[in-house]
Amino acid sequence: MIRTPLMTVMVDAVMKAARSLKRDFGEVENLQVSRKGPSDFVSAADRKAEQVLREALAKARPGYGFVLEEGGRIEGGDTQNVWYVDPLDGTTNFLHGIPQFAISVGLERDGKMYAGVIYDPIKDELYVAEKGQGAFLNNRRLRVSARTDLADCVVACGIPFLGHGNHPEFLRELGTIMAKVAGVRRMGSAALDLAAVAAGRCDGYWERNVQTYDIAAGLILVREAGGFVADADGGEQMMQKGSVVAGNEVVQRELLRIVRTASKAG
């Protein structure tokens, strides 16, 4: 695994936040009897984990800016470096007691994603990547899937929900993709979806209307695992446009073609 000083800082912060988050997840099941209780409890768990991450990262790298799920954007004295922090990606899963969520921290340097850490505390899976250093799951080097025939591929996605996203557009995309692949999966965490692509567990992934802190760490993870990422229009503005299409070179190109065609069809 990568042992640079930067990666040590990021991993230490994430693991510290994970301890409280894992404890809180153990309490969620006890709160399901109350409609208000679980939601309020999860919001508190989210904020607590974010505070731990912010304090640890700020102490180790004073002056770096932040983009936080709960706290918004905080400008730093060092304008070249910005942390993107999602303390709980997969909040709905967490709320319902579904053990599929992650902590995600990405570092943007000079406008480009430079390093990322994604940690799944339930499976104890730590994904790390730093520019030029490769991508790793725990101590194993990652490579994206080598499959090139969509008929053999499993593809992850995000599904728009109540009050969010363009539902007809997504249904056009899904209708085309599901007819060409071995399976489509919606797992509820953009960070873990991108990590799955980097690990070769999923062959591709697409989603619109995602937040910067959801995908920041995953973008560098996929690239350092030999994969390709683009926004839904085929450009490099994933963070600005809030959309991402990822996979190996062949699968990503084919998914991108389908997504772009479906968008124009609307």
Q: Which residues are annotated as a binding site for Mg(2+)?
A: 69, 86, 88-89, 214
* Residues contributing to the annotated binding site: 69, 86, 88-89, 214
Nearest Cα neighbor of 107 from 141, 66, 76 is 66
Distance CA 76, CA 95 (A): 33
Would you give the end-to-end CA distance of the chain in angstroms? Answer: 45
- Are 106 and 210 in contact, with CB atoms under 8 Å apart? no
Strand ordering across the sheet containing 102-109? 72-74, 64-68, 78-89, 102-109, 112-120, 125-130, 134-137, 140-141
- Are 105 and 57 in contact, with CB atoms under 8 Å apart? yes
Rg (CA), the chain: 18
Enter the DSSP assignment of 181: S
